[in-house]
Structure 1
Amino acid sequence: MPVLTDRFERVHDYLRISVTDRCNLRCLYCMPEEGVEFAPSSDLLSYDHIVEVVEIGASLGISKLRITGGEPLVRPGLDGLVSRLAAIPGIRDISLTTNGVLLADQAEALRRAGVNRVNISLDTLDPTRFRFIARRGDLKRVMDGIEAAARVGFSPIKLNCVLLKGVNEDEIAAFLKMAYEHPLHVRFIEYMPIGHADDNWKNHYLPLTRVLEIAQEQSLDVERLDDIVGNGPSEDYRITGGTGSFGLIHPISDHFCKRCNRLRLTADGNLKPCLYWVDELNVKPALGDPEALRAIYMRAMEIKPLNHEMAAKLAGEAQSHEPTARRMSQIGG
């Protein structure tokens, strides 16, 4: 049996690495507009320490990495880290999640370093609405980043669209058109209560059944797919005759925990078995001690719960564990 197997016989071969909790945007579903307290640089894992943690993970079966944040591209020298991670025996796939604002300038270096594919956040195609959702930034820079990603050969290129009721649901048809006309993979994502479960979340939550309803209203002929690289929890479709695809990631309405194969390493050095729950294992005391780091990975398998129970939070029902108080930007998506 593979080494990193939890109590529910789920094999873990995927590590998501947050390199910073800082971001150049303030998306309304991710962090407050003002007053965000970022971890001091001295609290973040150094690149040397990240490599050390990944080397132990690779020896236990980790083969896929995703670099996240915050916004990972705000941390200097990221391509150097990627080069080192790509050289670790057993690591066969490195991907990146970014808001795209800085991607045009860094895409070529990251591709050369070993990033295979990118996920780019894109919640709207309207510049004014972009400023409302992101609270700063420029949609054009994101679109330039998407073009650069295609030019340097990232494949596939996935666009992550968090659907917000009353905010951007009227753009579903436009995103479906994008997935039809361009070789892009649009992924609609349900709004998750990570670090907050207030009325704002409940009021803006939209189940992704709405996407398929819109497709039907538009008389689009869609077919299920199972060949998208790195599809993870996404339920994927192609519009007949189209060049791209679209996917649904619905952790609330149809959670995907039974197939979970991932762990998360936060920028400040905690290994999280589950995105939603409070449980974290600090790797810093184990740095320099391979056996201690292996023990932390194994402990993560022991304490990982069966599922996240976000649907219970939406329904106002009791939960079996304590949800995290960290925002998504502090964990790494």
Structure 2
Amino acid sequence: MKNETPVLQDLHGRHHGYLRISLIERCNLRCSYCMPEEGVPLSPKSHLMTNEEIYQIAKTFVKHGVTKIRLTGGEPLVRKDIPVILEKLATLPVELSITSNAVIIDKFIDVLKVNGVNKINISLDSLDRGKFKHITRRDQFDIVYKNMLLLVEEGFKVKVNVVLMKGFNENEIIDFINLTKELPVVIRFIEFMPFDGNKWDMGKMVSYAEVMTYVNATFSEESIQRLQDAPNDTSKNYKISGYKGSFAVISSVTNPFCDSCNRLRLTANGQLKNCLFSSSESDILTTLRSGKPIEPVIQKAVQAKFKVRGGMDTLEKLQEPKLHSNNRSMITIGG
């Protein structure tokens, strides 16, 4: 009997219309929560998807219902053929966006615009130059901050991703929110998540509840507006009355959004991950290169997706190292 279940629908009834594609494992920063201090073994170039393979795989996903594609890395803009990739993907009927550390994004303003990339997420974990250098192991704060302002001036819709770590940057929560007073950006506070080599433990995490404790202690109850979250949104969204921008909390650890998850991730070496927390992967690239259809591989991977956080459905399981230490480091998954 023919399987009539849609290719991108899992066994929990979730349809996956959002594909995140990592273009490269390399990065021009060395953020400690993303990459182990000793670095990571990189895939040989021959094992990485070519721009044509990226397009062919993306085209298949779009055929089955993907409407949003986000390009990630590593740092996607260090890939030399990024203009070609953008041009190819721009021919598909999808909303195309990108996540970048913004170090070199000023060189790509025109390329992004001509290919319809209007939504850009940038990573900025501290507004303090010294802390920025400590967390990224690179002295690039000034250029990143300048490029954030440039993107706003050029009319891009900018979200700023801030990974919160206890004892490091939780005292900057209000400083980040105050950026939204004059800048029409969305500040997104992200709970510190476990990946291979990032020395995660619950004690380092700043929770959604703790973020809101800072907010409630600083702003009046009347001025804190709870915004309507978009369908399938990963974040809880807020705004301070009169401010041009807004802020949000992505609580993947303490308050996961798994029930409405519609995301899949494709790594730079062509492996499909059905969940950020999952250690399992499905090899799409080898199947594509063998000339076989990739839909069966995609469907099997989607239907194997757990209901919650790669099977870690309690905080107790999340704190068990053996359940997440076999996952990739974040740099080789794609942000």
Taking structure 2 as the reference length, what is the TM-score of the superposition?
0.91
Distance change in 2, residues 1:99/1:311 (3 Å)? farther
Q: C-alpha offsets along residues 81-134 of structure 1, whole Å, 9 cap, x if unaligned?
A: 11111102xx32011111111111112212212212100001000111100111
Alpha-carbon distance in structure 1 between the residues aligned to 2:320 and 2:99: 32
Residue number in structure 2 paired with 1:131 = 133
Alpha-carbon distance in structure 1 between the residues aligned to 2:325 and 2:27: 23
Q: C-alpha offsets along residues 152-182 of structure 1, whole Å, 9 cap, x if unaligned?
A: 3212x10000000000011011011112331
One-letter amino acid of the structure 2 residue matched with residue 25 of structure 1? L
Distance change in 2, residues 1:193/1:58 (3 Å)? same
Where do residues 3-22 of structure 1 align in structure 2 (5 Å cutoff)? 3-22=7-26
Q: C-alpha offsets along residues 258-312 of structure 1, whole Å, 9 cap, x if unaligned?
A: 1110110000110111111111110122215786211122112211111112753
Alpha-carbon distance in structure 2 between the residues aligned to 1:24 and 1:318: 28
Residue number in structure 1 paired with 2:107 = 105
Correspondence 1:121 to 2:156: no
Where do residues 213-252 of structure 1 align in structure 2 (5 Å cutoff)? 213-220=213-220, 221-226=223-228, 232-252=233-253
Residue number in structure 1 paired with 2:36 = 32
Residue number in structure 2 paired with 1:180 = 181
One-letter amino acid of the structure 2 residue matched with residue 151 of structure 1? E
One-letter amino acid of the structure 1 residue matched with residue 331 of structure 2? S
Residue number in structure 2 paired with 1:23 = 27
Alpha-carbon distance in structure 2 between the residues aligned to 1:231 and 1:328: 22
- Matched residue of 1:50: which SS? helix
Q: C-alpha offsets along residues 187-216 of structure 1, whole Å, 9 cap, x if unaligned?
A: 000000022474x53331111212211111
Distance change in 2, residues 1:22/1:313 (3 Å)? farther
In 2, are the aligned partners of 1:103 and 1:148 still within 8 Å (CA)?
no
* Farther off after superposition, 9-18 or 282-291: 282-291
Alpha-carbon distance in structure 1 between the residues aligned to 2:55 and 2:188: 30
Taking structure 1 as the reference length, what is the TM-score of the superposition?
0.92
Where do residues 191-202 of structure 1 align in structure 2 (5 Å cutoff)? 191-196=192-197, 198=199, 200-202=200-202
In 2, are the aligned partners of 1:273 and 1:280 still within 8 Å (CA)?
yes
Alpha-carbon distance in structure 2 between the residues aligned to 1:311 and 1:74: 38
Residue number in structure 1 paired with 2:211 = 211
Distance change in 2, residues 1:204/1:317 (3 Å)? closer
Distance change in 2, residues 1:56/1:148 (3 Å)? same
Alpha-carbon distance in structure 1 between the residues aligned to 2:28 and 2:321: 36
Correspondence 1:76 to 2:80: yes
Alpha-carbon distance in structure 2 between the residues aligned to 1:162 and 1:81: 28
One-letter amino acid of the structure 2 residue matched with residue 201 of structure 1? D
- Matched residue of 1:195: which SS? coil
In 2, are the aligned partners of 1:95 and 1:115 still within 8 Å (CA)?
yes
Q: C-alpha offsets along residues 31-74 of structure 1, whole Å, 9 cap, x if unaligned?
A: 12334322222221101100010111111001100000011111
One-letter amino acid of the structure 2 residue matched with residue 175 of structure 1? F
Aligned match for 1:65, one of 66, 69, 80: 69
Q: How far off its partner does 1:226 sit?
A: 2.1
- Matched residue of 1:62: which SS? coil
One-letter amino acid of the structure 1 residue matched with residue 61 of structure 2? G
In 1, are the aligned partners of 2:232 and 2:262 still within 8 Å (CA)?
no
Structure 2 residues without counterparts, runs of 5 or longer: none
Alpha-carbon distance in structure 1 between the residues aligned to 2:36 and 2:324: 22
Alpha-carbon distance in structure 1 between the residues aligned to 2:183 and 2:198: 36
Alpha-carbon distance in structure 1 between the residues aligned to 2:197 and 2:13: 30
